[in-house]
Amino acid sequence: MGLLDLNLHNKHPLAEIFRADFPALDNNVYLDSAATALKPQTMINATVEYYAHHTATAQRSLHQDALKVTAAVDEARQSVADFIHSQSSHEIIWTRGTTESINIIAQSYARPLLQVNDEIIVSELEHHSNLLPWLIVAKQTGAKLIKWSAEVNELSSLLSSKTKIVAITQMSNVTGFCPDLAKISQLVHQYNAILVVDGAQGVVHQPIDVTTLNIDFYAFSAHKLYGPTGLGVLYGKQHLLEQMDVWQGGGKMLKNASFLGFEVEELPYKFEAGTQNIAGILGFQATLSWLKKWDEAQLDCYLKQLVTYAESKLAQLKHIQFFQVKNSPIISFTIENIHHNDIAILLSEQNIAIRTGELCAKPLMDKLGCHGVIRISLMPYNNQQDIDSFISALQNAIELLT
C-alpha cells in the first residue's frame, strides 16, 4: 500500500493529524458517522466564541456586535454557495436540517403545483426524510407517488408528461449506493420535471456541483459534514425559489405588514422567518474554512483503504450477510440468528458506537428482506485500531449470543 499503508507501525501522518482535531475520539471508538459526524475543535471554538463574546442577532440591530454577526452570517452563506457551486448566495436558505429543507420544497413548491394524478417519482433508497414529505403532499393534492429502484434504465420507463418531481438521494444511508446524478438529471429534465436531491449522506464523501449537474433543489445537514446540529441548507434555483410561497411567517421575512396582509422579503430571507441558529451558522463557517486546509484526495484514499481493511476483517466472520456497495464508507450487515440491537448493546458497553435497526429507511429494509442491520460508518478520523477494537468486540458479542 506504500505511503498509505495501514500497518499500525506506519501510520498515515496526514490522517493522524486530521484525527487529532476531534476531541471526542479521546474516549471511545466512534463508528456512527453516518448518523452524525464528530466535530473538529475549530468548530467547537467558533461556537463557544460566539456565545462567550459576540452574542447578537443578525439582520436586525445596528450595534457593532450585531453588524459583525450579520456580516459573518452573509460570509457563511457565500461559503456554502461556493462549496456546492451554486451561482448565487441568494439560492442558499438556512434551515434546521435536511428534513426541514425537503418539507419546505414539498409544501412551498410542490403543494401549489401538483394536481390530481400528477406523479412524484421517489426511489426505494430514500431515508424517511425524503419519502414522508412526498407522501404527505401527495395526499394533500391527489398526486401519485411512484416507486423507483434508483436504476437509471428503470427511470426512463417511469418518466412521462405526468411526472412533476423526481426525488433521489446522493448516497444511501443503508447501502452506500450512489446514483448517477448526471444521467438522472438529464433524463428528468427531458420531461420538464424537477430534480430534488437529498445530499445528507453524500455531501461529506463526494464533491457536489449543483450547477453542472442541473439540480433544481439540493438539501443537506451541517452536522453530517463535521458541523453543528440544528442547521441545514436548502439550495434551490433562484427562479424556483422566487415563485414559491413562503414556508413560515415571522420576523425579518417581510418588507411590510398590516392587518390586510404583508409583502415578503427578497431571497434568501423570505424563507428565514425568526432568529436563525446563528451560533451554528458561525460554527459551520469555521468548519468549511477548516475543510479547505486538508488534501481531500489523500484523505479519501486513506479512507478507501481503511474501508477495504474493515471489509476484509468482517468477511472472515461466519454467517455474515452484507447489505452494502463494495468500498463504501457505509458498511451494513447482519449476523444470522443474532438480533442487531443485541450487538449494539454489547458493543456500547465497551465504548464502541455503531448504529443498528431500520436506519429510518423502512421501505428499503422491506426490499432487502431484513428487519434491521448493523451499520458502521467510517470517516478519515477513524484508524485501524478503531476497526480492530470493533472486530474484537463484535467477535466477543457473537460468542456470547450464540
Determine which helix (DSSP H) or strand (DSSP E) holds 234, and give its type and residue range.
strand 232-236
Active site residue 301: no
Specify the pTM.
Answer: 0.94
Residue 202 makes CB contacts below 8 A (sequence gap 6+) with 169, 170, 171, 178, 208
pLDDT at 251: 82
What is the rounded CA–CA span in Å between residue 272 and residue 257?
Answer: 16
CATH class as words, domain 54-292: alpha beta
Note whether 170 and 202 are within 8 A (CB). yes
pLDDT at 11: 65
Catalytic residue among 178, 301, 360, 370: 360
Please, which residues bridge with residue 200 across strands? none
The 3-state secondary structure of 84-132, one letter per residue: HCCCCHHHEEEECCHHHHHHHHHHHHHHHHCCCCCEEEEECCCCHHHCH
Please, which residues bridge with residue 169 across strands? 198
User: Which residue is it, cell 391527489?
Assistant: 142
Gyration radius of the chain's alpha carbons: 22
Going from N- to C-terminal start, the domains of the chain cover 13-36+295-401, 54-292
Note whether 162 and 399 are within 8 A (CB). no
Bond from prior residue into 268 cis (ω within 30 degrees of 0): yes
The one-digit pLDDT tens for each residue of the chain (402 residues) are 333 444 544 567 888 999 999 999 987 899 999 999 999 999 999 999 999 987 777 766 667 777 888 889 999 999 999 999 999 999 999 999 999 999 999 999 999 999 999 999 999 999 999 999 999 999 999 999 999 999 999 999 999 999 999 999 999 999 999 999 999 999 999 999 999 999 999 999 999 999 999 999 999 999 999 999 999 999 999 999 999 999 888 888 788 989 999 889 899 999 999 888 999 999 999 999 999 999 999 999 999 999 999 999 999 999 999 999 999 999 999 999 999 999 999 999 999 999 999 999 999 999 999 999 999 999 999 999 999 999 999 999 999 998
In CATH, the architecture of 13-36+295-401 is Alpha-Beta Complex (3.90)
Please, which residues bridge with residue 163 across strands? 119
State the pairing for strand pair 163-169/144-148.
unpaired
State the pairing for strand pair 144-148/119-123.
parallel
What is the rounded CA–CA span in Å between residue 386 and residue 298?
Answer: 19
For residue 268, give the amino acid letter: P
For residue 79, give the amino acid letter: S
State the pairing for strand pair 194-198/217-221.
parallel
pLDDT at 250: 86
- Euclidean distance between the first and final Cα of the chain, in Å? 37
